[in-house]
Chain A
Amino acid sequence: MIHVENLSKYYGDFCAVDQISFDIERGEIVGLLGPNGAGKTTTLRMITGYFKPTSGSILIKDHSIKDEALQIKRLIGYLPESAPLYHNMLVYDYLQFIAGIRGLGQEKSRSRIRELVDLCSLDQIMHKTISQLSKGLKQRVGLAHAMMDDPEILVLDEPTSGLDPNQIVEIRDIIKEIGKEKTVVLSTHILSEAEATCNRLVIINKGKIVADDTTRALKQRANEEYTLHVSFNKADLAEVEREIALVNGIKNIRQIETGGMLHLKLTCFSDHDIRSEVYATIKRSDWELTEFYRETESLENIFRELTTEV
């Protein structure tokens, strides 16, 4: 669907995107991940035809961005960062303008706008000017704008920034729903979001791709070790440490200060699941167990590892 080869972009001498290549298939939800200034937005802007690449090529459904920019723009729905829309227009007028320019007929545009209003829950704000809207509401109008003619490819630049937690969940659901049949490329620097929505992640740092894999594979890579947390109400630190240390597969044990309670953090090798053994140890004693859980696996470790300099 999207084929990017040796793509570079220079701003003067500054290299924002450096020789990146990747392929995106139909039906994938791909997250472009990276710290601020990594080149995420620049890459998306080149894919959508807003910026001209300094070198390299982008093919979208066999259309080259150099010669057939117009066809490509018809295939892509794009939501730029922080949804810059015409602020003096009414939401309704704006959507109608977009429908017109996207080539929807009068009948079609009316029904499509109605669908989008339901999908993005805009019914309360249709007759407000865009400048009056809060950031989250604007973002939703922007999403409706991007999805106007049901594009085959949806490109979203930080789609959930500025939204409240409920809206974030809503938007994620919308994106996942669309991703079932369409291709979605989104950029974000929020790891949990990428993890929740995308089935593939491309991590960029300083304009270069440092990782490109399915979310699951990246997560596995991230977790050569995992962490168990146990806390006790009444227990003797020395005794607990001595007993638990007998369990095989623990790398180290650290005590975490929590007022009155004994909270231990066990770092374990991921090839052993030692939870049952630890529990058996606890059962044999008379310690009063208050908490026992495995820390959820996250991409944070690998992200930090790949995007910070050593």
Chain B
Amino acid sequence: MSTVMKTTRDVKGIGLSIPRPDAPDKVTGQVQYVADLNPKGLLHAKLLRSPHAHAKIVRIDVSRARALPGVRAVLTAADIPQLKKKAPTRAHAVLAIDRVVFAGQPIAAVAADEVAIAEEALDLIDVQYEVLPVAADPLESMKPGAPPVAELGTEADTSEALAHGSVAGVTTEAKPAKAVNISQQARLQRGDVAKAFAESDVVIENTYRVPMVHQGYMEPHAVLAQWESSGNLTLWASTQGSFNTRSEVADVLELPENRIKVIPMECGGGFGGKIRALCEPITAVLARATNRPVRYVMTRREELEAGMPAPQVIIKMKTGVKRDGTLMALEAEAILESGAFSGAVLAVAGVFLASLYLWPNFDVKGFEVLTHKPSIAAYRAPVAPQTIFAIDSQMEQIARKLGVDSVEYRLRYLQREGDKMANNQPWLSNGGAEVLARLAEHPHWKKRAEWKASSPKGKLRGTGISLGGWLGGLQPTGATVRLNPDGSLQVLTGQVDIAGTNIALAQIAATAYGVDIDKVKITTGDTDVAPMTGLSAGSKTTYTVGVAVMQAAENARNQTLEIAAKELEASVHDLEIEDGKVVVRGVPDKGVTLASIGKKGNLYMSKVEPVLGTSHPAFSVQAPAFCAQLARIEVDPDTGEVTLHDFVVAQDVGKAINPLQIEGQMQGGAVQSLGMALTEALLYDDKAKLTNPSLLDYRKLTSADLPKIETIIVEKPAPHGPFGARGVGEPPIVPAPAAIANAIEDATGVRLTHLPLSPERIALAIAAKS
């Protein structure tokens, strides 16, 4: 993943809309993803997956599969001594041992000369199951006596929450009470809720429900594993964090981390779904068993049936306000269905519910509940779209009931910098109010009455707005910046570029060092060579790695100036870098070229130290980022069909390092948000089996469903961000479900609280009302 920037000379660094340098390779199909790798001797892996959501494995017989010509290995749990029954995470549950806990759970693994042979071998594995009762619905699964999901004594997994680094000050309790499938619970309280409800004039109560959805990355999970005879393992991975993948694989397979090299290939989309290890351990085991390179590529069906989707979130919410609008009390119970393994970011849900608006009294309970479904993972701003759907829908309904402007109402009670969040941490500098105010100035919002009045015969038009955000993640990182003998710069990080961040980082290096962007090459190194770094997740790559690159570039700049100062017999403070030269300020013809300094750093017998800027920072201050979205829609009340006419996204990015890439993030995030709002749901039957395991039936939005997404970039600098930048990736996926539900109420007068807002739901709700 190396990139060289080529542009014209009239460029510098930050603030420019520059296409990704790998774009030409992407539009010509030259970029390599894991599935494109085809080393000599390659074997193909396939996994036998359970057809039952909950069953005892009575017997497995692989003898017929092993005998098939072209099959090189067939493994079950019995062949992998590292496997333990109380698997704390999905990655540890490499193959089921004696019980399966979701439909699609791997039971046996095959490596063969061809994919078709491996598939045939799966058919030859005989498994005898004893089918067990299933916990398919989280509300039922919470009750005492529900069929247990986890092995007794399994610890709750809160590492996802830690990985996202999003919330401080909330502790979640594992394994409470007698309800066997409640794996975490949390509670946030302030004030006297009962008294405040008694004093409220307007009390609104709703249950919001957001189904499991899939992250929908276009490249399915894929990995290629190969061992050297020395015992070193190389993994070519599609991952959002190569160091995290290395740690997880090392832990599962009980290997020293420095024996594993993870090479991050181009990641064909992740959105949170490629943070945790999934198929890497089993592929590594197959490669060891066969002593051949083994490639495993999940099918789309496997992705949908046995990926790591977003949790189903059910939120029971009650709010009370005074007739003059004064917020009194919020009561909420959030249930996060995390499937067969614990790992939901429960605390984030609680904090979001009670921290966006100024509730003086609140009581928010959160439960993570296990069911016999695939375990969940992060999905772009995990649980923020679901919780904001609830709280923003509620704010809109309150404003309507009070007969006040809903934007004005939100702004009146929005928590600002310094206000105490539900976890008692103060809100940090953010542009929440600014993005909502900017969107409220948009002609589409100002003319919402005209839009409603313009409804053609038989159609209903409406406008909706919503505000949501993300707290911003943090994780230590590192970067180096080298000066080459020709005066060009070489930036190295270990950060996987899943969002166009490498060009932004190169722009930061260019500006911080003082050269044009076309002099900077940035490389994402593998885990053997790159400075250790965190996940590309939590909207933190530019915010944190950007700081490392900026500091490393400044460090390299200072080293360069010191070398030049000696040569020019001038003070460092009088020097600057201009047009590839270090010059004495005010004496433009007195200078030394960067190339000559770079050259001396690699000259035989030279006494000049090579320029190597480094930085390896850790962080403590997050940068919350907010996004407001506006939808203008038309509803057909007979069919319930929603036509999106206009969609506007206003987002605070702190400082737009590369506006072109940022627009792309805002538009793409908005469309994922709209998909969650309108069409997407993983649908399970009462045996917890997925009923829509294809992209025909799991309906993502296409270009034919959507208007052009308009973007408004707002820049309220983040005090600790590189050049003021804050995270961009996650906020745009947050607001659309509420914006669409608000628009539907504006158009039709019905309030919908269950996603997706499908034609069927809308038509039935309208019919029920009239």
A and B interact: no
> Which B residues lie at the A interface, using CB under 8 A?
none
